[in-house]
Structure 1
């Protein structure tokens, strides 16, 4: 069984002629595609909405994602990490949508990161609600850290569920959650060194 190596390009033209139309696949391949579609579409829609802030944009990005997967499904079935490859396609389509609309990601996604700080009761910065500051801090996280925190805190996934969606190992996601949250808190302290009561630290 081949790995996903050599198939990293997920930015090919959507809608290109399919070598083998889905109605010519064998029954097992068709069933596997539609099963994956049913299993992941809602999760992908929720994630895309948090990133794009628009139902229409999220639906377009996800539809394009599954269109491209349909083009490549027979090849994807031979991959060792089909979930990971599918996740990369979704991420690329969301980036394309941002470029198409010529706007940055909505600040709506910061709600997930505010939640990531919520149980830091002993930390004076746990109730920071400055969305702009938080957004900038979020952008400093690695892509995998952002995804892990968004899936876990923004969508309520367990570490195991987030790992499955991203095509990753649970232990790796747990590490990304821990280090991402620590880095986020540290960055916020540096960029907004104030107590919740508004007094600057001495």
Structure 2
């Protein structure tokens, strides 16, 4: 199965599909099957929350997450041997969300900027008084790295602790804290620069 390709999920809502695979789950060792369902139960709500902020639709979210778990099921045997299966599963989820965005002809951007506003309010090292308007902030978030956007969404948008976000993405907690700090500082700098540019433009036209 190509990791970048689009695929349809035929499973019931909340469950991976039962389509035929090279090694059907019924033939898996009991321990492997139990570990898969434990992973599914542990990650599903987090994946749904993240995907919804990108897609803004319950139906699209369910389809993307079901497709992600289909792909994880297909790769489960290999994933059991990986040092960082969490990061691999997260990459699968991100690909399935992108597939769904392309399918619905939606831009691959967060649907809600509240998380990024919260990140700025929490920034005590580089405070920014008076947030720019939503369009400006939305534009600024696009200049963050993908990893920074993911972590801001998880931490500030969905309320995950840095420990929980680290577990989801397969990162060290210190790395998560560093990315969040960098994202806050970068957003503040970008918005300040934009504010200065608009002020200069206003002087030219006055």
The secondary structure found in structure 2 opposite 1:108 is coil
Note if contact 1:10-1:88 (Cα within 8 Å) is conserved in structure 2. no
Quote the Cα distance in structure 2 between the aligned partners of 1:118 and 1:94.
28
Q: CA deviation at 1:54?
A: 1.0
Q: TM-score, normalised to structure 2's length?
A: 0.84
Cα 1:19–1:154 change in 2 (3 A) is same
Note if contact 1:76-1:82 (Cα within 8 Å) is conserved in structure 2. yes
Q: TM-score, normalised to structure 1's length?
A: 0.85
Q: How does 1:28-43 map to 2 (within 5 A)?
A: 28-43=31-46
Q: CA deviation at 1:58?
A: 0.9
User: What RMSD in Å do the two structures reach over aligned CA positions?
Assistant: 2.5
Note if contact 1:113-1:153 (Cα within 8 Å) is conserved in structure 2. yes
1:81 paired residue number? 84
Quote the Cα distance in structure 2 between the aligned partners of 1:133 and 1:142.
17
Q: CA deviation at 1:126?
A: 4.0
Quote the Cα distance in structure 2 between the aligned partners of 1:119 and 1:72.
39
Q: CA deviation at 1:103?
A: 1.6
Note if contact 1:83-1:164 (Cα within 8 Å) is conserved in structure 2. yes
Q: How many residues align?
A: 190
Deviations 1:161-201 (A, max 9, x none): 10100011111111100011100110111123389xxxx79
Quote the Cα distance in structure 2 between the aligned partners of 1:122 and 1:12.
42
Note if contact 1:159-1:174 (Cα within 8 Å) is conserved in structure 2. yes
1:11 paired residue number? 4
Is 1:151–2:154 an aligned residue pair? yes
Q: Would you identify which runs of 4 or more consecutive aligned residues in structure 1 move more than 4 Å?
A: 120-124
1:5 paired residue number? none
Quote the Cα distance in structure 2 between the aligned partners of 1:187 and 1:44.
29
Quote the Cα distance in structure 1 between the aligned partners of 2:166 and 2:148.
12
Cα 1:80–1:95 change in 2 (3 A) is same
- Correspondence for 2:105 among 80, 102, 105: 102
Runs of at least 5 residues in structure 1 that lack an aligned partner in the other structure: 1-8
Quote the Cα distance in structure 1 between the aligned partners of 2:120 and 2:130.
8
1:186 paired residue number? 189
Note if contact 2:64-2:97 (Cα within 8 Å) is conserved in structure 1. yes
Runs of at least 5 residues in structure 2 that lack an aligned partner in the other structure: 9-18
